[in-house]
Amino acid sequence: MTPDSKLALFLLRQQAYRAWAVNHGAGMQQRPDILDHISTGVIALDAQLRVTAINPAAEVLLDASSTRAVGAHAGQLVHNTAELLETLKQARDTRATFARRGMLLATHSGQEVQIDLIVTVLQNDQGDSLLLELIPIDRLQRISREESMVHAQETTRAVIRGLAHEIKNPLGGVRGAAQLLAKELPNEELTEYTRIIIREADRLRDLVDRLLGPNQRLAIEPVNIHEIIEHVRNLISAEFNNAVTINRDYDPSLPPLPADRAQLIQTVLNIMRNALQAAERAEDCTILLRTRSQRQFTIGGRRHRLVCRVDIIDNGPGIPADLQQSIFVPMVTGRADGTGLGLSIAQSIVNRHGGLLECASEPGSTRFTFYLPMEQYHAKTR
């Protein structure tokens, strides 16, 4: 993009912002579609710092619905209000544009977001109003981190596919030779050795297949994410004799999403079992299952209007720091008896749905979060 085109785009955006804020200051209820679809949070305030309008990106960023935000004082939008209110009052009193870089805001849901804030004073017939632009820094950092992670995952899968090909071809020859040899041996006792060769060749073949993950085509259909989670919750409760404590925090407004029900069950099951295997005793393990919707969310460079977010949080010992960057790599595990395939398979399934699986861990709290697009998605095939 040339400097001239960048300037034109900036001016167009500013013009849309100003028209939107002025119209809302005049009491109009319509807003241009451009502000519904941009990722920058935009808020309009009157001279008393009351919210007159808020776009969807700002609602998501501050975890505040327009129903509650409009009419509220700006200081009610977040917990830590001192720096925010100081900036707004300075801009209003001096009628100058103010910018604050790296401002940290704490939402009422307990989340912290880091933003660049730009405050512009607008004049209209009803008096001065303020236009706030909230540009999420952590969102840009997360997108960059995701792109690196997706690239690393694709590289790993390509290596595994090549390795699987090199292993399975000789294994087929070894197994076939053992079968032929078994027919030529003079007594039954000697054929026991060929049976061992065949059995171990089959075991290695199955291991390679598991490394590759699910290879069947996704059976996409509308599914209820809560029905899937509840199904797994019941399986886990039965498997561990109701010893584990499982709490639920669901968003009942989530619509059905297009997915493969069986494979999503496998994903949730693998993650929950991983949590329980990390605990010393099932009785000491507490798991929180939480669902939310998120708007204007970017996955792998593609922005989705609406995604389903599922958090699976346990109170276990946490993942060692030296393993956190590689927990989704096949055969990487912190347990002596682990295979290191459960999380790799879960990640592969989520990626094939066009989603994203992330992990954040510290002693006493490990959170696996996966995001799934709510719109129809054409699944990837290997």
Q: Would you list the domain boundaries of the chain?
A: 3-139, 217-382
6 by Cβ neighbours in 10 Å (0-12 / 13-18 / 19+) ranks as: exposed
Q: Which residues pair with 311 in a beta bridge?
A: 290, 369
Which DSSP symbol is given to 255? P
Q: What is the pLDDT along the chain (382 residues), one digit of tens a residue?
A: 444 443 344 444 555 555 555 555 544 344 445 667 777 888 888 888 898 888 888 888 888 888 888 888 988 888 877 888 888 888 888 888 888 888 888 887 767 788 888 888 887 666 678 888 888 876 656 666 666 666 666 676 677 677 777 777 787 888 888 888 888 887 777 788 888 888 888 888 777 776 666 666 788 999 999 999 999 999 998 888 888 889 999 999 899 999 999 999 989 999 998 888 877 777 778 899 999 988 777 777 677 888 999 999 998 888 887 777 777 776 556 555 555 677 888 888 888 898 888 888 888 888 999 999 987 654 444 4
In angstroms, the CA 56 to CA 180 distance is 68
Q: Each residue of 237-256: b (16+ CB within 10 Å) or e?
A: eeebeeebebeeeeeeebee
User: What pTM does this model have?
Assistant: 0.59
Residue written as tokens 């512009």?
A: 120
Beta carbons within 10 angstroms of residue 115's beta carbon: 24
Phi and psi torsions of 303, nearest 5°: -90, 130
pLDDT value for 177: 86
DSSP run (H or E) holding 371: strand 365-373
332/295 Cα distance (integer angstroms): 34
Gap between the Cα atoms of 129 and 44, Å rounded: 7
Please, are residues 88 and 74 in contact by the beta-carbon 8 Å criterion? yes
Cα–Cα–Cα angle for 212, 218, 223, rounded to 5 degrees: 130
User: At the top level of CATH, which class does the domain 217-382 belong to?
Assistant: alpha beta
What is the C-alpha separation between 113 and 101, in angstroms, rounded?
12
Structure-token match 């010893």, residue found:
243
Distant-in-sequence contacts of 339-346, Cβ < 8 A, 24+ apart = 339/210, 341/210, 341/211, 342/270, 342/271, 342/273, 342/274, 343/270, 343/271, 343/274, 344/211, 344/213, 345/210, 345/213, 345/214, 345/266, 345/267, 345/270, 346/266, 346/267, 346/270, 346/271, 346/370
With vertex at residue 37, the alpha carbon angle to CA 36 and CA 39, rounded to the nearest 5 degrees, is 105
Instruction: Identify the pLDDT of residue 4.
Output: 42
CATH topology of domain 3-139: Beta-Lactamase (3.30.450)
pLDDT given at position 259: 93
